[in-house]
Structure 1
Amino acid sequence: MKQFSPLQRPNAWEGMESAKIHSRYIPGKKAITPGQAEAIANQRYPDGQMWMLSPPADELGIYYVWKRDVSELSQYIGYREIAIDQYSGDILKMYDSGSGSAGDVLLDWQWPLHSGYAFGWPGRILVLSSDLACPVLFVTGVIRWRQKCRARRAAEELDRHRTDR
């Protein structure tokens, strides 16, 4: 992917969580609660629904919030990742799907295209029909193989009858 277009996210499947984003540790200050982190994300970015909230792993960790179905971004790949400082509640970084380099956008489209989520019911029907093509090709291949075996046996039988005369 790097040859096509450099990625702006360190890992498109783990998102910003794998980036080196840290909270500013303030000795003696209590961290915000998960509910406060959710409220901060919803206040700043009200569109979409909360999908995931990951609490900080240690005193330098961040709250990682993921919202999906963000219709202002896209009907098909609308998600938003938000990194929040656990002490100050500041938004440290934010990533919108469909933004970034061409490589980031390509990776964002992988799931909607391969799951059939993209393009609604016509997209799902297209993915279903292409998925059913593999077993259909297998079954028709076995049928054709058996037909050829029978034809070969019939031809051998016919040759044997001709030579017997």
Structure 2
Amino acid sequence: MLLAITGMAIAWYDELDTALNPDLRQAQIGSGDLVSLDKVVANAEAALPGFSVNNAILAPESGYTHWLIGRQVLADGDVRAMQLFVDPASGTVAGWRESGALQFDRHHFPDLLYGLHTELLADEIGATIVGIIGLLWMLDHFLSLPLAFPKRQKWQDAFRLAGRKGSLRRLFDWHRAKGMWLWLLTFTITLTGVTLAFPNVSRDLVQPLSPISERLHEAMPETSNDISIGLDEAISRVTADISQVHSVRIFPTISQYAVRTYDDRDPDNQGRLWTYVNMVDGTITGKRHDIGESGGDLFFAWQYPLHSGHAAGFAGRLIVTLVGLVTVLLCYSGLRLVWRRRNNGRQNRNSTNF
């Protein structure tokens, strides 16, 4: 039930974050000429000493801020993950927050929900528990089918309500019918949730069936070359239209920028075409779309879009919200069924003893 509630919420993460934190997510200057991305990063690093960017997510449209994700090295040597928000038109830093911080305020609330959903705020142990819950829910999907379609029963009855209002039969049908109507959707959410919770194990299982290619930067050797190409020039080597850029990943250890641009093959709105630009001489060193070239690549490219609902845009997120709501109701009606049947069993035993 907790995973369903938090999942419904983070399906609308950007909208929720913007509503709670307009001071961070909404640009104060508005439309106009954009300052260079290099200046945006420089201003961010000057505003928060010790901060370095590893992922710059560009404002999706006019009126929103750039979102810089990175880490800050503190004076005592400790490191914390940080997010900074910068006005694209003025380069002014709107503010920042610590990623994954257990703080109960409006700035950190969206990330708190995200952490609860993905790892129960317990890091790797929590992520493992979430994955195990997903596996058990997958098993439950198949165990439910013989219960929903017992022998000598018309299959249509599994999708209908019968019995008088308030009866145990009506409660059972209400529990069964909504589960059967959305069985395929809830199973899809469960399957994608398990693959996201256990990405390495999932890849090991799929690899024998279809080859899976990794992102190009994972195989690039480490270098110690000085950086001479900035973010703006790297983007210009990829496209002349900055509105086509979703984000830029920065990999200083391999001297590479990964410019992510939108493409017709994208399964969602994340910009799935990665173009790698060398930080030293500006040459394009590789290009890869998340869809890849195999069935295995295609399968994993669709996991997050399907799980989050972004695969079908606004309508997809409405569907994910509906699935979350039905899951909450399934938990509630399932608990009521257990409680009612336990009480009925006690009454029957007491009557027999009497």
TM over 0.5: yes
Separation in structure 1 between the aligned mates of residue 227 and residue 342 of structure 2, nearest angstrom: 77
Larger radius of gyration: 1
The two structures have a TM-score, normalised by structure 1, of 0.72
Equivalent of residue 39 in structure 1, options 236, 249, 260 = 236
* Alpha carbons 1:21, 1:62 under 8 Å: kept: no
Separation in structure 2 between the aligned mates of residue 85 and residue 126 of structure 1, nearest angstrom: 41
* Alpha carbons 1:84, 1:92 under 8 Å: kept: yes
Superposed displacement of residue 108, structure 1: 0.9
CA offsets, 1:51-91, max 9 Å, x none? 1231422xx52222223xx1433463652111112222110
2:245 paired with 1:49: yes
Name the residue aligned to 2:259: 65
Equivalent of residue 320 in structure 2, options 99, 123, 127 = 127
Q: In proportion to residue count, which structure has more helix? A: 2
* Alpha carbons 1:82, 1:95 under 8 Å: kept: yes
Distance 1:55 1:138, change over 3 A: closer
Separation in structure 2 between the aligned mates of residue 137 and residue 50 of structure 1, nearest angstrom: 38
Name the residue aligned to 2:209: 4
CA offsets, 1:23-45, max 9 Å, x none? 7x6xxx872122211221223x8
SS, match of residue 119 in structure 1: helix
Aligned length: 148
* Alpha carbons 2:267, 2:301 under 8 Å: kept: no
**Mean Cα deviation higher: 31-40 or 125-134:** 125-134
Name the residue aligned to 1:158: 351
SS, match of residue 302 in structure 2: helix
Distance 1:102 1:47, change over 3 A: farther
Distance 1:30 1:128, change over 3 A: closer
Superposed displacement of residue 135, structure 1: 2.8
Separation in structure 1 between the aligned mates of residue 272 and residue 279 of structure 2, nearest angstrom: 22
Counterpart of 2:217, as a letter, is E
Counterpart of 2:250, as a letter, is S
The two structures have a TM-score, normalised by structure 2, of 0.37
Cα RMSD for the two superposed structures? 2.9
Structure 2 gaps, min length 5: 1-205
Separation in structure 2 between the aligned mates of residue 115 and residue 65 of structure 1, nearest angstrom: 23
Distance 1:30 1:107, change over 3 A: closer
2:219 paired with 1:19: yes
Distance 1:150 1:17, change over 3 A: same
Counterpart of 2:264, as a letter, is E
* Alpha carbons 1:34, 1:53 under 8 Å: kept: no
Counterpart of 1:133, as a letter, is V
Separation in structure 1 between the aligned mates of residue 235 and residue 314 of structure 2, nearest angstrom: 32
Counterpart of 1:2, as a letter, is Q
Counterpart of 1:101, as a letter, is S
CA offsets, 1:106-126, max 9 Å, x none? 111111111111122332232
Query: Among the aligned pairs, what percent are the same residue?
Result: 20
Equivalent of residue 307 in structure 2, options 114, 122, 126 = 114
Distance 1:33 1:136, change over 3 A: same
Name the residue aligned to 2:140: none
Superposed displacement of residue 50, structure 1: 3.3
Name the residue aligned to 1:12: none
